[in-house]
Structure 1
Amino acid sequence: MDDLTGFQRDLLYVIAGANRPSGQDVKEEIEEYYESEINHGRLYPNLDTLVNKELVEKGELDRRTNYYAISDAGEQAMQDRQEWEDQYVEL
């Protein structure tokens, strides 16, 4: 995950915390967190990056709507990141 932007990491966490969210579902969650509108030109290229890095899987809900799901590699990357963070921050 060291090669991801903070925004991409946030997308990964949103996807991991949901059950096969659509792009619109991800957009709504991330807009709530960022407290601002996220346009499609920012959202979908970053989702595609996560898919291309095989951290997220993309599938079809219907002919117009895709879903996103965390992959095994994505889960492992998140776990590795958490372990790395834990050595610096104790909450």
Structure 2
Amino acid sequence: MYDLTGFQRDLLYAIAGQDEPHGLAIKEELEDYYESEIHHGRLYPNLDNIVDKGLVEKGTADQRTNYYSITARGRRELEARRDWEDQYVGDLFSE
């Protein structure tokens, strides 16, 4: 996970929180979060990158639409990231 950009980590979280979302659904989710437009030229190369790293699988819903799902490795990486975050901010949220 250390070699991902913040945007790529956010992609993982967005994909993990949905059931096999397609690119447009991921884009809309991140646009809501960032409160700004996410361009296709930013979205799809970063999706391809996390697919290439084995964190996400890319499937075909139809001839024009791909869907994405988190892999077991991606889940482990997210869990490790949350454990790392808890070392620093876990006490802030335990009240």
What TM-score bracket applies, with the shorter chain setting the length? over 0.9
Following superposition, the deviation at residue 46 of structure 1 comes to 0.3
**Sequence identity of aligned pairs in percent?**
64
Q: Cα RMSD between the aligned structures? A: 0.5
Distance in structure 1 (CA, Å) of the matches to 2:84 and 2:32? 27
- Structure 2 segments unaligned to the other structure (5+ residues): none
Distance in structure 1 (CA, Å) of the matches to 2:70 and 2:32? 20
Aligned twin of 2:65: 65
Following superposition, the deviation at residue 89 of structure 1 comes to 0.8
Between Structure 1 and Structure 2, whose CA radius of gyration is higher?
Answer: 2
- Structure 1 segments unaligned to the other structure (5+ residues): none
The CA deviation string for residues 38-75 of structure 1, in whole angstroms up to 9 with x for no partner, is 10000000000000000000000000000000000000
3-state SS of 1:20 partner: coil
TM-score for the superposition, normalised by structure 2: 0.94
More helix by share: 2
TM-score for the superposition, normalised by structure 1: 0.98
**Aligned structure 1 segments of 4 or more residues deviating by more than 2 angstroms:** none
Residue 28 of structure 1 pairs with residue 28 of structure 2: yes
